[in-house]
Structure 1
Amino acid sequence: MGKLIKPTRILRHSTKKTRLDLRRLGDVLRDYAWEKLNAGPWREVGKAWRQVYAYGCLFGALAEVAACRPLAPAVRLCDMGLLMGASVLDNALARLVRLLQARLPRGKRRAAAGGSAKRARVEPPPAPVVQPEEALPHVRCPSLEHFRDNYLIPQKPVVLEGIIDHWPCMKKWSVDYICQVAGCRTVPVELGSRYTDEEWSQKLMTVNDFINQYIVNENSVGYLAQHQLFDQIPELKEDISIPDYCCLGEGEEDDITINAWFGPEGTISPLHQDPQQNFLAQVFGRKYVCLYSPQDSENLYPHEGQILHNTSQVDVEDPDLNKFPNFRKAACQCCILMPGQVLFIPVKYWHYIRSLDTSFSVSFWWS
């Protein structure tokens, strides 16, 4: 951190021309690299261009600080570099943004439109009824051997209880806490109740704006769903840990993808399947989850196009059986995933998820 403070102090005592030159250099690098980042599929973007963009964000952020301007634009530049760039100078952007964030006031939720905060429900909203014959099994703190032999090897979904009770997030996290820790940070947000809707889109905004627009005021449905959040905001990553059961996989710990899923009641993940094993850990709020075996794939009518080939055309809670008659043949397993519970979703297992409350989930994709 001291390595970052020193050049910042030097810049503050530099000439106005030097600071303007640094700002212009940052603008030029970002503008030129941005064209390269958006010229084709993301997987084809070379790491060097992402590093150029990161340097542009770093120079721009330092110029903002050196000019003694408000820190929020510098924080946004750091976040853009972390989201779109690649690590440079021993991850200087991550170290700089932590330094800057410590000097910003903690975020707070605004009151809902109309002058008063949304009143909390006295009674929770009704949840779908899970029939006994469809209910997923629940197991409390199974040994590694028991989980491996009874669920991982035979590829059977199960709800695990008691395995994340020790996570600090289980006592600390709430909407207000997320606002305090990450409110000023810029993140990508999915807009729309589900990604298959025509009006679905993505937008960059601060966590504060996301909470105030889509959770407090309920203007529409938005969802913070991304795999970079915990790398971008280490304070949150420190409150969780990778489940021990992931050690039964074939990959290394660095190969495990950790995702954040934060959104209001009513957000939906359409029926789809993923190419890796999945642990879905519920921190707060509840989710209704339906699962179908890969053996039922033909009965689930996947989209024919390449982009949505892993997504079903069927609306699980309101199926059009005239259009999709074989859906009635598919065997469903369901659960209401409660705070502190972890759902094991085997690779290629179809799953549909609807948030019953404002909720935060953490998923671990592993091989």
Structure 2
Amino acid sequence: MALNLQQIPRVSTIGKDDFVKNHLQPQRPVVIEKLTEDWPAFQKWHLAYIKQVAGDKTVPLYDDRPVKHDEGFNEAHAEMKMSEYVDLLEEKPTNFRIFLYNILKEVPSLQADYKFPKLGLQLIKGLPMMFFGGTDSKVFMHFDIDYTNILHFQFHGKKRCIIFPPDQSPYLYRVPYSLIAREDIDFTDPDFEKWPALQKAQGYVCELDHGEMLYMPEGYWHYMHYLTPGFSISLRSYPRKIKNLGKALYNLLFMRHYDNFMRKRKGQEWIDYKNDQAMVRTHKYLNKDR
């Protein structure tokens, strides 16, 4: 038995009016296949090029270890020169990923390689973040703290993306006071006996190849599975819906700080409590929903 996932619609190209009408306003995901073909990045952005222009940069690395109470928000697990990291990616599978790294600030020449698409979104020019991963590495199911609309562009390799709309949150074992689902859920092969609510969740899936872009609407959950070594860049715009802007402000101004306070006060007991509550709350909702 597998997750209830629909293939995300795909288009070769799309105009601004069609994108706004059919995807941005109704908040529907889409894969645009050829949006980057006139970017210099389409030809240049492969791991060998990144190694050439950014090889001397020290980059933060993350793996799939569970969240610990004594680790800061988005605190890296290791560091490595980019040249060494690219060699590692090409040599063998690794769990080490680069996450939310502003390499474009570190290597300004890369900024000339991409464009801000004119799709009716007011994209945030100062927040183009890059992500790297090795074969079979996975990014746990989460949503973004600021509820932004996300244009996610894949380069070099292939990635499988599983996404869920915000209204599916009650079935995803969301950990309270956080942005994640239970980290011990394998969304590529979930154990429905342990996580029965996942059978009710309705989401979407796609595989992104080099140059393709996935539009993820505001507050969408996403789980990324690198099928080969590769990297991506995300361009973002602020939420358009007032309620989502309110949720973003709540997350940034209260939830994150409260969670950090409780970690310091309660330690691992707080993490364990939240994980237990993820199951209790989800199964309570599931039983009510039946």
Counting matched residue pairs gives 228
Q: Which residue of 2 aligns with 1:224?
A: 98
Task: Name the CA distance, whole Å, in 2 between partners of 1:130 and 1:161.
Answer: 25
Query: For the structure 1 residues 260 and 333, does the alpha-carbon distance in structure 2 shift closer, same or farther, using more than 3 Å as the test?
Result: same
Q: Distance in 2 between matches of 1:140 and 1:242?
A: 18
CA–CA distance in 2 between the matches of 1:161 and 1:223? 25
Q: Secondary structure at the match of 1:180?
A: helix
Deviation at 1:201, TM superposition (A): 4.8
* TM-score, L = length of structure 1: 0.58
How far off is 1:195 after superposition? 5.7
Percent identity over the alignment is: 28
Which of 117, 129, 132 does residue 259 from structure 1 map onto?
129
Code of the residue aligned with 1:310 in structure 2: it is: L
Say if 1:217 and 1:285 are closer, same or farther in 2 by CA, change over 3 A.
Answer: closer
Aligned to 1:205: 80
Amino acid at match of 1:365: R
Match of 1:312 in 2: 181
Q: Which residue of 2 aligns with 1:297?
A: 169
How do residues 11-160 of structure 1 correspond to structure 2 at under 5 angstroms? 134-160=6-32
- TM (normalized to structure 2)? 0.72
Residue equivalent to 2:283: none
User: Helix, strand or coil: the match of 2:150?
Assistant: strand
Change beyond 3 A, Cα 1:211–1:253? closer
Give the AA of the match of 2:84.
D
For residues 201 and 185 of structure 1, do their structure 2 counterparts lie closer, same or farther at Cα, with a shift above 3 Å needed?
Answer: closer
Q: Is the 8 A contact 2:94 2:135 kept in 1?
A: no
Secondary structure of residue in 2 paired with 1:315: coil
SS of the residue 2:192 aligns to: coil
* Structure 2 Cα separation of the partners of residues 197 and 337 of structure 1: 28
1:118-176 Cα distance to aligned partner (Å, 9 max, x none): xxxxxxxxxxx999x72110122211111001100110011012111111111112222
Give 4+ residue runs of structure 1 displaced > 4 Å after superposition.
Answer: 197-201
2:121 is aligned to 248
Partner residue, 1:237? 111
Match 2:195 to one of 287, 311, 324? 324
Counterpart CA distance in 1 for 2:93 and 2:214 is: 30
Q: Within 2, Cα distance between the matches of 1:162 and 1:176?
A: 22
Contact 1:287 1:357 survives alignment (8 Å): yes
Mapped contact 2:142–2:222 kept (Cα < 8 A): yes
Aligned CA-pair RMSD: 2.4
Q: In the alignment, is the contact (CA less than 8 A) between 1:287 and 1:355 conserved in 2?
A: yes
Contact kept, 8 Å, 1:257 with 1:366, in 2: the verdict is no
Residue 288 to residue 197, structure 1, CA distance change in 2 (3 Å): farther
AA matched with 1:351: H
For structure 2, the 5+ residue unaligned runs are: 239-290
AA in 1 matched with 2:135? E
Deviation at 1:347, TM superposition (A): 0.9
Q: How does 1:350-365 map to 2 (within 5 A)?
A: 350-365=221-236
How much has 1:185 moved relative to structure 2?
1.5
**Which letter does structure 2 place at the counterpart of 1:188?**
P
How far has the Cα of 1:197 moved from its partner?
6.4
1:195-228 Cα offsets, whole Å, 9 max, x none, are 646799522321112223x314437421122332
Q: What is the DSSP-based 3-state SS (H/G/I as helix, E as strand, rest coil) of the residue aligned with 2:8?
A: coil
Check 1:196–1:345 CA distance in 2 against 1; reply closer, same or farther (3 A cut).
farther
Larger-Rg structure: 1
Cα distance, 1:364 vs structure 2: 1.1
Out of 141, 146, 153, which is 1:271 matched to? 141
In 2: Cα distance, 1:220 partner to 1:291 partner:
23
Matched, 1:337 2:208: yes
